Amino acid sequence: MKMVILKKSASEKVFDILNYVFMFLIFLITVYPFWNQVVTSLSEGYSAYLTGMLLWPAKISKKAYEMVLGYSLLWTGFKNSIIRTVLGTLISLVFTSLTAYPLSKNKLPLNGFFTGMIFFTMLFNGGLVPNYLLVKRLGMLNTVWSLVLPGMIGAFNVFIMRNFFKSIPESLEESAMLDGAGYFRIFLAIILPLSKPVIATVALWVAVGHWNSWFDGLIYITDKNKILLQIVLQKIIIENNSTNIQEIMQRLQSNERSNYTGRQLQAAILLVATVPMIVIYPFIQKYFIKGIRMGAIKG
């Protein structure tokens, strides 16, 4: 509300104060879990167990980070997750936009049939086992294709792009057509350059999805060299897999080792893995908001 509020009643003032307090609490509750990881990861040895360690580490040590950064499986995971995200996003964008553009033309024969067919996949699916068996039959187990192809085109993204393409004035295309351009030329030279906002939005959605996705990595990838970052995290943090923690700890001197419990390591590895997301987050945030408005409200 940009409107100037001239005077406030007493109850409105009380409400304002309570509201600010409430919002500040929301802010704290959202930020604290991250901060807790920072404090834990920077704590030395058993000081991670002191109850005073709520806001600041009792004794600061960078040891956990040194150990975690020397852990090769983490870097393998990073590499594979980056490959998956970049490849998956590129392929998704190409094929989602290629699918959405024809569907934005009402005159396209069988448009209704194809649209319905794609829409139905939002309502019903075969479920876990048939999907797994298909990927297995296609020989994609332990390849990046098992992570990239099954989710290549999402129905929702198709409709968001289609709605955007529809909003582009048809006169632009008509004049290009008079100049002898075919649909593919028009798509590349006119439609795509005009559609940067929607493409950026879908790209970010897809990329975040790939980066955070782990279940497909769990069921389709068994080869240790192809492990994803999220699976590395899961093994160390959730399953609390002692062999993995031991592996990281082996780098420590034996007397120091007894002082570390894995708790700091878990926090450190979690933060290291989250850093890329937190660093790019402020830049991508505004696109997400734009995208959701475009797709959900204006569409």
Instruction: By CB under 8 A, tell whether 158 contacts other proteins.
Output: yes
The window from 21-29, 82-90, 189-197, 248-256 that contacts other proteins (CB under 8 A) reads 21-29
Minimum Å distance from CB 92 to other proteins? Answer: 10
Count of all residues that appear for the chain in the document: 299
Rounded-to-integer distance, Cα 205 and Cα 210, Å: 9
Query: Using CB under 8 A, which of 68, 74, 103, 148 touches other proteins?
Result: 103
Asked if residue 166 lies in contact with residue 299, where contact means CB atoms within 8 angstroms, the answer is no
Q: Which helix (H) or strand (E) holds 185?
A: helix 183-186
Eight-state DSSP code of residue 60: B
Rounded-to-integer distance, Cα 42 and Cα 36, Å: 10
Query: Using CB under 8 A, which of 10, 17, 106, 169 touches other proteins?
Result: 106
Minimum Å distance from CB 229 to other proteins? Answer: 9
Rounded-to-integer distance, Cα 205 and Cα 198, Å: 11
Considering the complex, state which of residue 102 and residue 247 has its C-beta at the smaller distance from other proteins: 102
Instruction: Show the binding pattern over residues 118-137: x = contacts other proteins (CB under 8 A), - = does not.
Output: xx-x-xxxxxxxxxxxx---
Asked if residue 162 lies in contact with residue 297, where contact means CB atoms within 8 angstroms, the answer is no
The neighbouring-strand residues paired with 43 are 60
Instruction: By CB under 8 A, tell whether 180 contacts other proteins.
Output: no
Instruction: By CB under 8 A, tell whether 42 contacts other proteins.
Output: no
Considering the complex, state which of residue 222 and residue 254 has its C-beta at the smaller distance from other proteins: 222
Query: Using CB under 8 A, which of 70, 139, 197, 299 touches other proteins?
Result: 299
Asked if residue 162 lies in contact with residue 104, where contact means CB atoms within 8 angstroms, the answer is yes
The pair of structure tokens assigned to 149 is 């192809």
User: Considering CB under 8 A, how many residues would be counted as binding other proteins?
Assistant: 108
Q: Which alpha helices (H) appear in the chain, and where do they start and end?
A: 10-42, 63-69, 72-103, 111-123, 128-137, 145-148, 155-166, 170-178, 183-186, 192-194, 196-212, 215-220, 229-233, 242-249, 254-257, 263-292
Within positions 198 to 257, which residues make up the interface with other proteins, using CB under 8 A?
208, 211-215, 219, 230, 233-234, 237-238
The pair of structure tokens assigned to 79 is 């590499």
Minimum Å distance from CB 195 to other proteins? Answer: 15
The window from 69-77, 194-202, 243-251, 278-286 that contacts other proteins (CB under 8 A) reads 278-286
Minimum Å distance from CB 217 to other proteins? Answer: 10
Asked if residue 165 lies in contact with residue 100, where contact means CB atoms within 8 angstroms, the answer is yes
Considering the complex, state which of residue 11 and residue 255 has its C-beta at the smaller distance from other proteins: 11
Instruction: By CB under 8 A, tell whether 21 contacts other proteins.
Output: no
Sign of CA dihedral 157, 160, 162, 164: negative
Within positions 136 to 155, which residues make up the interface with other proteins, using CB under 8 A?
149-153
Within positions 55 to 94, which residues make up the interface with other proteins, using CB under 8 A?
none
Minimum Å distance from CB 77 to other proteins? Answer: 11
Eight-state DSSP code of residue 5: P
The neighbouring-strand residues paired with 60 are 43
Considering the complex, state which of residue 201 and residue 253 has its C-beta at the smaller distance from other proteins: 201
Instruction: By CB under 8 A, tell whether 112 contacts other proteins.
Output: yes
